[in-house]
Structure 1
Amino acid sequence: MHRLRATHLIKHWPLYTALSIILAAWYYLFFIMTMNMTPVAQWSYLDIIVLFSMWAIMMAGMMLPSALPIMYLIDKINNQRKARNAPYAASFYFIVGYLLAWFGYSLAITLLQWWLHHLALLTPMMNSAQLEFTCLILLITGVYQWLPIKQRCLNHCRSPLGFLTSSWQEGIYGAINMGFSHGQYCLGCCWLLMALLLVFGVMSLPWIIALTLIVALEKLFSYGLLFSKILGALLVFLACYMWLMT
């Protein structure tokens, strides 16, 4: 029994690595959110590095769960190819490529957050400081949910087998390219949803959990496309309501 378990772990180690990254990222998020964080009034280079690290870990924890289906498919295809001594994609490096795409986003949104803080649009606790900014982000995100580029990227993320059929690459660099390419589509699908944290609070654990569930529903739920559009309409309504109530 123990030998079978060990064999299973070895056979599917890239998938278990992804699960370990997810668990470690969420452990970090729960840990850091329970700490008494000092509000950042003046940013130093160290603050930027720490914030980038937090965004990178947060993106790993939030985005890897909805990418597990495609990782499972790659793992399954690779094991079949290995059994035939055929070339295969290195599953672990697909994860590396996927995370590289999101780490690039983490760097961009860290710099954006620093700039917004400099413009006094964010509070020292890293949430929106002005109603106009809040309404603008909600409105843009809501409208984006209906745009063709959002729907195209979402359709791609919802069809992992189609992506692998058309974009399969072998070897380490091929797997990195596949992961990065898939990550770019996921970026196109979810980048504005992640930016909502600038409104509700980068350190808000309830909103981090909520957005993770929203992303998973969009990608994995049978009616994910419809859910995406309903969410967009609700965000537009919320933006207009908040603006009119001031």
Structure 2
Amino acid sequence: MTGRLVTVRRRASPAGLLLVAAATAWVGVVTRWGGIPAMSGTMGLGLLVFLAMWTLMTAAMMLPATTPVAALYARTITVHRAPRMVVFTAAYLLVWATAGLPAYGLAAGLGRAASLPAVAGTAVAAAVFAVNGVYQLTPLKDRCLARCRSPIGLMLRYASYPGPSRDLRAGAHHGAFCLGCCWSLMVLLTAFGVMNLWAMVVLTAVITTEKLAPAGRLVARVVGIASIVLAGAVFWIPALAPGLTGSGMAGM
């Protein structure tokens, strides 16, 4: 009985810590930016502040879906588990923080589109929806999603990493696959409005379901098809993309 309790604790602890970290990130996002209406572009933020916001936002959105991989990786660690898992998680988030650099440039560029005539912003919004829809249906999306959904192969790879850099390399490698899986979904935030908390909640649910639910691959395809439908529908209902059309700007 005692052995079983120890095993359960070992499995649950990394997942629980990541969920606590994600919840803390959500509290930070809501507390710091929750009262600000969703805006186009960079919200007038400088690069460093934008990167801080982006990293906090991605931690809130991505960590819940990462808990099974983290728990599985933790089982391969026999000593100094807690600090090594901190390194693994930090490396994972560093990949997303680095992705904030092109995200800032993209947000700045698309923010200018929102100041153009409404038809231009609508066309850009349609392109954003279409890009996500097409990517959701590609083999590359399937490959990245498969690695996130069935990470046993990744664990064998990580076990071969030598030396003290193992946790750093493993976290960064998994972060890269996660980025490959979810980047187009994050681009949708430019259409819905940066820091649109309702959009964040919905996208977090999509990302978590894709990675953890038995029908996750089907969900990814349904989301792709729905995004393509939105690419056409936004011309008739600009409010579907308030971040680029200026229609119905709303936060939470």
- TM over 0.5: same fold? yes
**1:109 corresponds to:** 103
In the alignment, what sits opposite 1:158? Answer: 149
Structure 2: how far apart are the matches of 1:136 and 1:194?
A: 14
1:115–1:220 distance in 2 versus 1, CA, 3 Å: same
Partner of 1:138: 129
CA drift of 1:167 comes to 3.0
Unaligned stretches of 5+ residues in structure 2: 239-252
5 Å-filtered alignment, 1:89-104, equals 90-104=84-98
| CA deviation after TM superposition for structure 1 residue 21, in Å | 2.2
What is the root-mean-square deviation in Å for CA atoms of aligned residues? 3.3
Question: CA-to-partner distance for each residue in 1:197-239, whole Å, 9 max, x for gaps?
Answer: 0000112111000000000010001011111111111111121
1:32-51 matches, cutoff 5 A: 32-36=32-36, 47-51=46-50
Q: Which has the higher contact order (CA 8 A, sep 6+)?
A: 2
Give the Cα–Cα distance (whole angstroms) in 2 for the partners of residues 187 and 14 of structure 1.
21
Alpha-carbon distance in structure 1 between the residues aligned to 2:231 and 2:149 = 28
Tell me: CA distance 1:158–1:47, structure 2 relative to 1, closer, same or farther (3 Å).
same
Counterpart in the other structure of 2:19: 19
**Which stretches in structure 1 are left out of the alignment for 5+ residues?**
none
CA distance in 2 between counterparts of 1:42 and 1:92 reads: 30
Change in CA separation of 1:140 and 1:41 when aligned onto 2, cut-off 3 Å = closer
Q: 1:14 to 1:222 in 2, by over 3 A?
A: closer
How many angstroms does 1:92 deviate by? Answer: 2.0
Judge conservation of contact 1:9–1:16 (CA < 8 Å) in 2. no
| TM norm structure 2 | 0.78
Aligned to 1:31: 31
Shift of residue 113 of structure 1?
Answer: 1.2
Q: Deviations over 1:125-162 (max 9, x none)?
A: xxx98100110000110010111111100101101222
Q: Output the TM-score relative to the length of structure 1.
A: 0.80
Determine the structure 2 residue equivalent to 1:75. 74
Sequence identity of aligned pairs in percent?
Answer: 30
